[in-house]
Structure 1
Amino acid sequence: MSKFKKKGDGGTPAISTASLPDIVFMLLFFFMVVTVMRDTSLKVQNVLPYANQTEKLDKKDLVMYIYAGKPSERYQQQYGTEARIQLNDKYASVSDIQQFIFEERQSKREELVPYLTTALKVDQETNMGLVSDIKQELRKAEALKINYTTKQGNSLANYE
């Protein structure tokens, strides 16, 4: 006979949830820091044309975007209905394109500059004269890698 009795197996101990709020707030903070918000807000109408032979760009951080099209309804009172150019978040003229390219090159590391691509996001209603002027300015700035952004689809749908 023993004086001490053994306790029966009490099962597994409960999981402590005391640190759970700390973990949740740490994850929330992490995702708030690493989430990338939209870089630019469109001020021009941008209905892209269709193309059936498209390729996807590999690195989006090496792309400089030039938007062209009619000002959206919100800005038509101030800027009219003629097609305009948008660089980053502001309207620009054709002569501002060279400065835009030089500033974008300065913001990148030296070894990445040869890989920079200029993407033209041109509304399907924009006349080709404006696109031609943009291309002439890109030649002057020696930005010869040009990408025309389109939607995947049948190119005959552009005529409808």
Structure 2
Amino acid sequence: MSKFKKKKSGELPAVSTASLPDIVFMLLFFFMVATVMRDDELQIENKLPQANQVEKLAEKKKVVTIYIGKPSPNFQKTYGLTEVVQLGDKIAPVSDVQTFVNTKRNLMDEDDKDAMTVSLKVDQNSQVGILTDVKQELRDAYALKISYTSVEGDPLKNLKN
């Protein structure tokens, strides 16, 4: 009869790395699905008005967004208390709207240029004057498809008492 010999070396067995690629790909897939790409960092106060006839825009890649409102408290020292226009991630004068829209249009595919829509996200307490100036700049840039962004709700709540 033979005896079984015990190893007395005390070494730990090697860690199996066979499942490591599976774990890496699961993590990669999770972060790709869970990550949200930010659009623009708002530098203005932007409380959208309410409307009861709300419709979503079909394709977001064909939309150029312009924000109008008073600067948020962090930016009031720099830009004051009057309404400003935010183009992308920066506050700009109204005269830059035409250049901004044309630049965005040139970055689009040829098929998407004709279907480009300018989405105006205007604070409900903003004055009409700056909105009119922005719309005139959009006319000069031949950006004639405009949508106004709002939240769904009772439009009568937009009225001040």
After TM superposition, give the deviation of residue 28 of structure 1 in Å: 2.1
Q: Secondary structure in 1 aligned to 2:64?
A: strand
The one-letter amino acid of 1:40's match is D
Aligned runs of 1:68-107 on 2, under 5 Å? 68-107=68-107
Q: 1:121 & 1:150 partners in 2: Cα distance? A: 7
Displacement of 1:36 after TM fit?
Answer: 4.3
Output the CA distance in 2 between the equivalents of 1:49 and 1:80: 23
The match for 1:3 is none
Output the CA distance in 1 between the equivalents of 2:19 and 2:122.
49
Deviations 1:15-55 (A, max 9, x none): xx964332121132245457442021000000000011111
Query: C-alpha separation between the residues in 2 aligned to 1:139 and 1:27?
Result: 49
C-alpha distance in 2, partners of 1:28/1:116? 36
Q: Secondary structure at the match of 2:26?
A: helix
Q: Secondary structure at the match of 1:64?
A: strand
TM-score by length of 1: 0.84
Counterpart of 2:159 in structure 1 is: 159
In structure 1, the residue corresponding to 2:114 is in which secondary structure? helix
Partner residue, 1:109? 109
Percent identity between matched residues is 45
- Distance between the aligned counterparts of 1:132 and 1:143, measured in 2? 14
Q: Which amino acid aligns with 2:21?
A: D
1:111 deviation in Å?
1.2
- Quote the Cα distance in structure 2 between the aligned partners of 1:51 and 1:64: 21
Q: Deviation digits for residues 66-124 of structure 1, max 9, x if unmatched?
A: 00000000001111111100000001111100100110011111111011100000001
- Measured in 2, the distance between the counterparts of 1:146 and 1:19 equals 55
Amino acid at match of 2:39: D
1:34-73 equivalences in 2 (<5 Å): 35-73=35-73
TM-score, normalised with respect to structure 2? 0.84
Letter in 2 for 1:159: L
Change over 3 Å in CA distance of 1:19–1:39 after alignment to 2: farther
Query: How far apart in 2 are the matches of 1:30 and 1:113?
Result: 33
Aligned AA (1:145): K
Which structure 1 segments of 5+ residues have no match?
1-16
Corresponding residue for 2:27? 28
What SS does the corresponding residue of 2:95 show, helix, strand or coil? helix
Partner of 1:124: 124
Distance in 1 between the 2:18 and 2:114 partners?
49
Q: CA RMSD in A?
A: 1.6
